Structure 1
């Protein structure tokens, strides 16, 4: 059975969209997923399923969360090999700004079009840069992520698809934890 890594968008931030990880693991197991694990509270999940399609796994998790929690949670699924390859590609890339800037990976739900890629790379005169790497977006910020102009809703509008961002340290930890099993 295939192993999938799922990334939930915008949960457990502030008072809204709370999803307790222990309960989520139980509900996913009850829904037929196996070997369910989570990593920190921001919605990083590893699970095994008879479903081979990432899109079907995304839909199943989104339906479960909508029915259980009562709100939409865009879910982005990658294989362990995809996360491993992405982490390696990013590690091999020279800094977009300088080595002190923080790196984030914005996992993309849909395709980032060529026009969107051009819009994302147009930020050359700011302390923020982005590049599409495979299906996802590398974001570098020389400053605070929460006040960055190229993060959050603006980044998502430019990309033209839902995104969920993770610090590169979290992506590395997930790769080490789940891509080798």
Structure 2
């Protein structure tokens, strides 16, 4: 059995795409997964699976949510090893920052620096970003809600690429929660 985190994009935000965590836990259990737990109300679930890979599990959950709840939610599934590696590779001094200052955007596929070439990084200082393994680290000293750099980075849509962001506290909590079965 492998322990995974499902990262759902854009649920329970702004009154649309309402998905109670109890319903998400029930759905994952009905799909045959074990050890199902959720974190917060913003779309994180941890579960174990003895079959499938990250992409097939994400597709399965995406389809099941659409069938059950009538709306499409983009889902990324990542295992403990990946989540831990992302946390350990953080290029910013995470231990000295608050959770609201540091964020990780997880991508469904690798992204390159060229994707963000039009973003004038110097114009957004002291905010900064760095790319990692299918992720982007964002240092936003005043938080994500006030970040002009986050806004500029999000203007780079790519067809078929799923992206979802989590603050550093959630990043660490998912590493901890998935470690239980690792």
| TM score, norm. by length of structure 2 | 0.85
Separation (CA, whole Å) in 1 of partners of 2:5 and 2:25? 13
| Deviation (angstroms), 1:119 | 4.5
Report the counterpart of residue 151 of structure 1 in structure 2. Answer: 150
Look up the SS of the partner of 1:131 in the other structure. Answer: strand
Query: Would you say the 8 A contact 1:145–1:151 is kept in 2?
Result: yes
Report the counterpart of residue 89 of structure 1 in structure 2. Answer: 89
| Deviation (angstroms), 1:95 | 4.9
| TM score, norm. by length of structure 1 | 0.85
1:164-179 to structure 2, matched below 5 A, reads 164-179=164-179
Number of residue pairs matched? 176
Report the counterpart of residue 124 of structure 1 in structure 2. Answer: 122
1:25-174 to structure 2, matched below 5 A, reads 25-90=25-90, 93-95=91-93, 102-119=101-118, 122-126=120-124, 127-151=126-150, 154-158=152-156, 160=158, 161-174=161-174
Could you say which structure has the greater relative contact order, defined with CA pairs below 8 angstroms and 6 or more residues apart? 2
Structure 1 residue runs of 5 or longer lacking an equivalent are none
| Deviation (angstroms), 1:133 | 1.3
Structure 2 residue runs of 5 or longer lacking an equivalent are none
| Deviation (angstroms), 1:61 | 0.7
Look up the SS of the partner of 2:122 in the other structure. Answer: coil
- Cα root mean square deviation, aligned: 2.4
Query: Would you say the 8 A contact 1:35–1:48 is kept in 2?
Result: yes
CA 1:31–1:94 in 2, change beyond 3 Å: closer, same or farther? closer
